[in-house]
Amino acid sequence: MMGKLGLQSVLFLVVVHILVVSAAADIKNLKIWPMPLSVSYGHRILQLSNEFVLKTESSKYPDASGILKEGFSRLLDVIKVAHVVDANASYVGPSPVLKGIQVVILSPSDELQYGIDESYNLTIPDKGNPAYAYLTAKTVYGALHGLQTFSQACHFNFTTRTIEVHQVPWAIVDRPRFSFRGLLIGHSPSLSAVACDIEEFDDVTRSIPMPVGSTSWHDMHTSYFLLITNTLNTPRICSMQNVLHWHIVDTQSFPLEIPSYPKLWNGAYSSSERYAERRGINVLAELDVPGHAQSWGVGYPSLWPSKDCQQPLDVSNDFTFKVIDVILSDFSKIFKYRFVHLGGDEVDTSCWTLTPHISKWLKQHRLNGTSAYEYFVLRAQKIALSHGYEIINWEETFNNFGNKLSPKTIVHNWLGGGVAQEVTAAGLRCIVSNQDKWYLDHIDTTWQDFYSNEPLTNITNSEQQRLVIGGEVCMWGEHIDGSNIETTIWPRAAAAAERLWTAYDNIAKNPNQITRRLAYFRCLLNQRGVASGPLTGGGRAAPEDPGSCYEQ
């Protein structure tokens, strides 16, 4: 799978004062988050050149779409932040200057998809004339992870007003443990108040007419975009979460008028998709049926069982499935990720059994509420399969009729622990999001809880272990708005991210051993404009004391 790299093994031999970190216990002075697969570092300092350059000689990736160039320019931005860097670095004395970074990518393709190779190797020498960092990766997305790691070795020196690369020489070999590392952001109307000042995106959204009877579309998309912007620009977010799970359609939101503006719809959706993709983030779209779809009936009341009983969607009406088909057909043109999320959670079938025309239909088809729920989910699965998707469904579908689900189903756990064990024993794949540990809207859950949640708990069979494709932390929108979303997500999502990225043996058995490193990362987030909360307490806690952010 991976190519070869000579330089860092040479450095390995030459440098004497190297600390090889292979176990979580040795990481006291390491300031990288999440912890790489293997890392060694020294004690010297380099100056980052003011004309720090990107070199791509002998890379097979042509970068026609500019993904690498953009990633490099974002790297410079996050390293410099708002600091005024002295234009003349030559007076700082004896420290050698790091002139640039050479990036060698082995694959010419930049198709982003589930399971692509995200590995990278990074070395930063402590000498050389001129000295260059060296980054190799199989894909450009692995290289983006490497650039994020590089950025964490850089520090602004307030005395000299230059950027220093600390702890050189570095040699890092890294790849993620799980291939699905998700962050769910559920929409809420309160997020609509979030302003968006991103010009190019404004141009897209301004041209979209506001659907009648809906507050959602324009604002929802705007606020999402802002969230995407802020979260994706955070250091190494790319290497932590590689899936943004977009709960597009919910009880309160989703103007069903949208399919009548298909071109505009495509335009706006695909611009956010492209935005994410250029950062190595897959967008997972969710169409939560048959529950949580009340809003659909605002435009098409016949999708409701009745005016007084509005969800789940009318199972007896063929039009319901036609609409699902049309939406998934649109999705398949925009969301290229292998999976679509079909929800299937929290279905209360009493509106079906209580509404005369549906109850009659159930009798005709010898169905009751439970079996009609199964019928609905399986029929929706078939529609998704026909559009080339594999399906993710919430765990209630598995709990009720797991043996009937398509083998291409991935069961999304949320109700509690121990589910992945049952799902994988049944031969299906699983995503772990147990709400007691990985729901960000549970404010009382601490970062230590997030960090300690092991997706493979009690799964010993290696084949079953492979069926756990990863995990996702969930930020449901009911109790957040633009003022608190970042402090609710960070730093706890980062704690979960290390669990999902870092090799099991490198994960701290006691999270309190790594408080310093996470505190450092959260300060970095703050410096880079992400309003991460402190480590004390649960989500959105206030700092306990005055003083350095490293102490909170």
Ligand X SMILES: *[C@@H]1O[C@H](CO)[C@@H](O)[C@H](O)[C@H]1NC(C)=O
Residues with a catalytic annotation lie at: 346
Tell me whether residue 259 or residue 417 sits nearer to ligand X (CB atom). Answer: 417
Which range of residues in 83-91, 196-204, 274-282, 399-407 is near ligand X by CB under 6 A?
83-91
Least distance in angstroms from the C-beta of 211 to ligand X: 38
188 contacts ligand X (rule: CB under 6 A): no
Distance between CA atoms of residues 416 and 382, nearest Å: 28
Give the total of residues touching ligand X (CB under 6 A): 24
Which range of residues in 73-81, 131-139, 325-333, 339-347 is near ligand X by CB under 6 A?
131-139
Stretch that binds ligand X, among 88-96, 384-392, 397-405, 515-523 (CB under 6 A): 88-96
Binding mask 395-434 for ligand X (x = CB under 6 A): ----------------------xx----------------
Phi, psi (rounded to 5 degrees) for 142: -60, -40
| The only residue of 58, 73, 302, 368 in contact with ligand X, by rule CB under 6 A | 368
Q: What is the three-class DSSP state of 79?
A: helix
Among 31, 74, 138, 177, binds ligand X (CB under 6 A): 138
3-state secondary structure of 99: strand
Q: How far is the CB of 164 from ligand X (least distance, A)?
A: 6
Smallest gap from Cβ 21 to ligand X, in A, equals 15
Give whichever of 144 and 191 is closer to ligand X, judged by the CB atom.
Answer: 144
**Nearer to ligand X by C-beta: 121 or 188?**
121
Please state the closest distance from residue 532 (CB atom) to ligand X, in A.
22
Listed ranges 144-152, 250-258, 367-375, 535-543: which one lies at the site for ligand X (CB under 6 A): 367-375
Spell 511-544 as b/e; 16+ CB within 10 A means b: beebebbbbbbbbbbbebebbbbbbebbbbeeee
Among 5, 163, 281, 468, indicate the residue that binds ligand X (CB under 6 A).
Answer: 5
Q: Compute CA distances 357 → 118, 313, 459, whole Å.
A: 52, 13, 46
Are 295 and 254 in contact by the 8 Å Cβ rule? The answer is yes
Tell me if 90 contacts ligand X by CB under 6 A. yes
**Closer residue to ligand X (CB): 91 or 509:** 91
Instruction: Tell me, residue by residue from 326 to 365, as one string, x for binding to ligand X by CB under 6 A and - for no binding.
Output: ----------------------------------------
Residue 457 touching ligand X (CB under 6 A): yes
Shortest Cβ distance from residue 357 to ligand X (Å)? 20
Tokens representing residue 292 in the block: 């949580």
Residue 49 binds ligand X, judged by CB under 6 A: no
Q: Which helix (H) or strand (E) holds 121?
A: strand 120-124
Closest separation in Å from C-beta 126 to ligand X: 16
The reply to whether 537 sits near ligand X by the rule CB under 6 A is: no
Cβ of residue 162: shortest distance to ligand X, in angstroms? 8
Query: What does DSSP assign to residue 426?
Result: T
Half-sphere exposure of 524 (CA within 13 A, CB side): 28
Determine the Cα angle at 368 with ends 347 and 419, to 5°: 45
Length of the chain: 552
Taking the least distance from each CB to ligand X, the nearer of 104 and 194 is 104
Q: Which of 39, 48, 173, 298 binds ligand X (CB under 6 A)?
A: 173
Three-class SS state of 16: coil
CB of 391 to ligand X, least distance (A): 23
For 506-511, which contacts have Cβ atoms below 8 Å and span 24 or more sequence positions? Answer: 506/22, 506/23, 506/24, 506/35, 506/36, 506/37, 507/24, 507/35, 508/24, 508/27, 508/451, 509/24, 511/447, 511/448, 511/451, 511/452
- Which 3-state string (H, E, C) describes 238-281? HHHCCEEEEEEECCCCCCCCHHHCHHHHHHHHHHHHHHHHCCCC
Residue 308 vs 505, nearer CB to ligand X: 505
* CA 284 and chain centroid, separation: 10
CA–chain centroid gap for 365, Å, is 42
C-beta of residue 387 within 8 angstroms of C-beta of residue 327: no
Two structure tokens written together for 526? 């703050």
Of the candidates 251, 332, 371, 400, which one interacts with ligand X according to CB under 6 A?
A: 371
Cβ proximity of 232 and 190 under 8 Å: no
Is 3 a binding residue for ligand X by CB under 6 A? The answer is: yes
Options 7, 18, 85, 92; binder of ligand X; rule CB under 6 A:
92
Beta bridge partners of 247: 186
Closest CB 367 distance from ligand X, rounded Å = 7
Provide the sign of the torsion angle of the four alpha carbons 231, 235, 238, 239, taken in this order.
Answer: negative
The single residue listed with the structure tokens 């009877």 is: 213
> Which residues lie below 8 Å from residue 546, measured CB to CB, with a gap of 6+?
none
Summarize as ranges the residues that interact with ligand X (CB under 6 A): 2-5, 88, 90-92, 119, 121, 136-138, 157, 159-160, 173, 368, 370-371, 417-418, 457-458
